[in-house]
Structure 1
Amino acid sequence: MPPLSSPSPSPSSSPSSPQSSPSSHGSVVAALRAAGCVFAEDEAQLILAAARTSEELAALVDRRVAGQPLELVLGWAGFRGLRVAVEPGVFVPRRRTEFLVEQALAQAPRASVVVDLCCGSGAVGAALADALGPVELHAADIDPAAVRCARRNIAAAGGHAHAGDLFEALPGDLRGRVDLLAANVPYVPTGEVDFLPAEAREHEPLVALDGGADGLDILRRVVAEAPRWLAPGGSLLIETSERQAPEAVAAFTRGGLSTRLAVSERLYANVVIGTKA
């Protein structure tokens, strides 16, 4: 799946007219390429496979040309071999977040109680359950649209989706029992949100992007409360940026967790890992 951050269509692009509606692979590629889609060949194959009629094909191409993220056009995002359902107004899982899942699995390969906090579509929780096998899985988000989407994606794993502000959303009986707490918190500094790619800025909820003045407000809140929810030996993992990593590590350490930083240069991903004694 091409990344969400691929260049968006130029402002001068306009949806194809009925007379010029694409109906073949070549014409779809041409329409997407003219709109500025770098991965036009790959995207054309996915859109052609999703369309059941020529009218539906034209509508899907029009939506992509107009600047909608490919994942929302298709209705799903690829994530660690899964097709994760995504809906308008819900944060689209990024490929770099697969590194968060990889680190979580390496950290706690026998986890039985798993929480996906700030879950968005529930992609992280769904991927963890898929790899771990039967687990008690909970996902939570402050955005009701995200919770509805996550509920769909974790249903096969018997997961539970909760709406609310961070830990307030979770059942109280989880305190002290969580083996693995994964939190893909918003970490874009407020002043940098306007510089995000248009696909994110215009089609994803601000609450899933804006992490406060330095981008670490939500991370600090999660770290401050996480030890009360983790089981002994349980781990908290949070994705952050390279620039923010030193302060994120310091916040974990101040929270009393045994902390390390994992980095993937291939995916440009940074994950802070903290373990409760």
Structure 2
Amino acid sequence: MPSSPRTPRTPSVPPLPPTAVVRALRAAGCVFAEDEAELILSTARTPDEAAAMVERRVSGLPLEQVLGWAEFHGLRVTVEPGVFVPRRRTEFLVDQALAQGPDATVVVDLCCGSGAVGAALAAALDGIEVHAADIDPVAVRCARRNLAAAGGHVHTGDLFDALPACLRGRVGILTANVPYVPSAEVGLLPAEARDHEPLAALDGGADGLDLLRRVAAAAPEWLAPGGCLLSETSERQAPAAVEAFGRAGLSTRMAVSRELSAQVVIGVRPAR
């Protein structure tokens, strides 16, 4: 009896040699080529996917957008293309929020981007009610993925306009990692940020503090008595940021991490 014809096999793509990946990344200017190669090869599910990821990274896409995730405060946070990549220095803002408001029951993350800050706070504080907001629908979609496990609520809109009115006077921790790059300096940013992250997540206006001032001015009516507002800024902008918080009636101080090159301005609504 004649044998049945065999289905032709699709040729398998051989795994990418790590050395070849490192060479390609190094040629593209990636300073930590070995580390990036390891992350790409361990994340990719197939050789074809690995090759595509290397190609995207070589073209200049941020590593976190290539991988689809970023490590942030002990979490693996989803990062979609076109969404602001959470910076390691912002982990310091999370630590300061936890130290200032360990008993907070309501947390709001304004200008949330991927929702990394809200997700980190939700992971550290049991049973909190967490809200996040961003003006960018792409960021809102990404944040919903990252806050789903915590039962977080993510809203679309401009700063406080996005939030439900029932939060007024109830917020224990309000984080606002607003854009703070002066408009004239956006063009000086690394190409990864300048070309692949939304301008609205980078440009803070003439002196970089336009949104910070707006947040500070409105924050007291949203904070609970003793609640705190935290926002990241640069060392050069710190005095003006502190002044803006003070004008809003908040008890204000700066927290600085030299190791992470991070400056966080912290304002507390008086308890009475």
State the TM-score, normalized to the length of structure 2: 0.93
Q: State the match for 2:142 in structure 1.
A: 149
Counterpart code for 1:84? V
Query: Which of residues 192, 196, 213 is equivalent to 1:203?
Result: 196
State the TM-score, normalized to the length of structure 1: 0.92
Query: Which of residues 124, 128, 131 is equivalent to 2:124?
Result: 131
| Residue 22 of structure 1: how far off its partner (Å) | 7.7
Q: State the match for 1:46 in structure 2.
A: 39
Deviations 1:122-168 (A, max 9, x none): 00000001011210000000111111000000110110000000000
User: How far, CA to CA, are the matches of 1:178 and 1:55 in structure 2?
Assistant: 47
Q: State the match for 1:68 in structure 2.
A: 61
Q: State the match for 2:19 in structure 1.
A: 26
| Runs of 5+ consecutive residues of structure 2 not aligned to the other structure | 1-13
Q: State the match for 2:113 in structure 1.
A: 120
User: How far, CA to CA, are the matches of 1:166 and 1:23 in structure 2?
Assistant: 45
The alignment of Structure 1 onto Structure 2 pairs a total of residues equal to 257
| Residue 56 of structure 1: how far off its partner (Å) | 1.1
| Residue 50 of structure 1: how far off its partner (Å) | 1.2
Query: Which of residues 163, 166, 169 is equivalent to 1:176?
Result: 169
Q: State the match for 1:261 in structure 2.
A: 254
| Runs of 5+ consecutive residues of structure 1 not aligned to the other structure | 1-20
User: How far, CA to CA, are the matches of 1:52 and 1:252 in structure 2?
Assistant: 48
User: How far, CA to CA, are the matches of 2:47 and 2:253 in structure 1?
Assistant: 52
Displaced runs of 4 or more, over 4 A: none
The alignment-based identity, stated in percent, is 75
- Larger radius of gyration between Structure 1 and Structure 2: 2
Q: State the match for 1:225 in structure 2.
A: 218
| Residue 25 of structure 1: how far off its partner (Å) | 1.1
User: How far, CA to CA, are the matches of 1:216 and 1:193 in structure 2?
Assistant: 14
| Residue 271 of structure 1: how far off its partner (Å) | 0.2
Counterpart code for 1:213? A
Counterpart code for 1:164? G
Counterpart code for 1:82? L
Counterpart code for 2:40? I
User: How far, CA to CA, are the matches of 1:98 and 1:214 in structure 2?
Assistant: 24
Asked if the contact 1:22–1:58 (Cα under 8 Å) also holds between the matched residues in 2, the reply is: no
